[in-house]
């Protein structure tokens, strides 16, 4: 069984007993989290597609950790003008273990 949820302005395909990295949720490690914006639910045979969300569908999970991703280098350069700027960015994320998909 899998579902497509929307959180942090992005859509994620999630399955039970699997983890997913989502945009930072301000929750502590071990806290329960639920996602109410479920766009699609499928159990292999039946598929429910919402317009825009599936009615009475809910995905629950547990926060595993809050961390930062690998560094992304941003480099700007204007040739022949001696202009160079180098910056790095590490995006914060929350790892969530999906426990239950209710449809």
Asked whether residue 81 is domain-assigned, the answer is no
pLDDT at 103: 83
Residue 32 lies in a domain: yes
Does some domain include residue 85?
no
Question: What does the alpha-carbon distance between residue 91 and residue 70 come to, in Å, rounded to a whole number?
Answer: 8
Nearest to 97 by CA among 7, 20, 5, 13: 20
pLDDT in tens, 23-70: 999 999 999 999 999 999 999 899 999 999 999 999 999 999 999 999
With respect to residue 40, please indicate whether it lies within any of the assigned structural domains.
Answer: yes
pTM, 2 dp: 0.84
> Using one digit for the tens of pLDDT, what is the confidence trace for 74-102?
999 999 999 999 999 999 999 999 999 99
- Does 82 fall in a domain? no
Q: Assess if residue 78 is contained within a domain.
A: no
Burial class (CB in 10 A: 0-12, 13-18, 19+), 97: middle
Q: Report the number of distinct structural domains present in the chain.
A: 1
- Per the domain annotation, does 20 fall within a domain? yes
38: nearest Cα among 15, 14, 5: 5
Residue 30 lies in a domain: yes
What is the span of the domain harbouring residue 31? 2-66+95-102
Is residue 13 scored above 90 in pLDDT?
yes
Average pLDDT, the chain: 95
């Amino acid at each position: 069984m899998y579902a497509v949820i929307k959180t942090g302005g992005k859509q994620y395909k999630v399955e039970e007993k699997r983890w997913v990295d989502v945009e930072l949720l301000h929750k502590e490690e071990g806290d329960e989290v639920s996602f109410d914006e479920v766009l699609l639910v499928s159990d292999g045979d039946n598929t429910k597609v919402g317009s825009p969300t599936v009615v009475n569908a809910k995905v629950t999970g547990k926060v595993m950790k809050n961390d930062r991703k690998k560094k992304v280098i941003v480099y700007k350069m204007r040739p022949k003008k001696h202009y160079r700027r180098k910056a790095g960015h590490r995006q914060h994320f929350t790892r969530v273990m999906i426990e239950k998909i209710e449809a």
